A = this chain, B = another copy of it.
């Protein structure tokens, strides 16, 4: 029961975040196609952030599938993750309104990096609570995606000051890595239940 309320609360926050980003897309002041021009960078960063939040929602969903008991530290690790995700609309708008400048692009990466760390901490808290036979530990295995992503974010943050387009390419790349279906957790769960 407590788990369902944690899920519902997290879903609510992520649903709101994914939706209010659209409020940051400034309605154009004009009625020809050129009026859309200044909106394009904002739109592109909106698409990227929408995909990231979708990935987080999806992964969060899978991860909580393995959980049976919510402890205090899981609860706060979860709020910590939601905190960093809640900054995504802010950095999305900053990057979008400044035409993908160097510093906003780096700032976007900083928030993604912190969210990845927060996700990792939440994962560790769950594994610790599950004890030596942790279902989640078996499910994530080597967790190469979870280990690679923060490294790529760090590279992107540094690269932003040389070539912001490179950083943006890295953000797209990390999203693609996660979009490729990853059935580890599903498989381990199926084994577990089967």
Contacts and interface: CB of A to CB of B under 8 A. Distances in A.
Interface stretch (A10-18, A115-123, A151-159): A10-18
Contacts of A25: 90
A87 B93 CA distance: 15
Contacts of A79: 50, 54
B20 A9 contact: no
A22 interface: yes
Instruction: Give chain A's interface residue range (CB within 8 Å of chain B).
Output: 35 or more
Contact of A11 (B5, B86, B94, B183): B5
A103 B39 CA distance: 15
Nearest to A17: B19
Given A19-B86, A31-B101, 20 more contacts: A2-B61, A2-B65, A9-B11, A9-B57, A13-B15, A13-B19, A16-B19, A16-B20, A17-B19, A20-B22, A22-B89, A23-B23, A23-B89, A24-B27, A28-B94, A31-B104, A32-B103, A33-B103, A54-B79, A72-B183
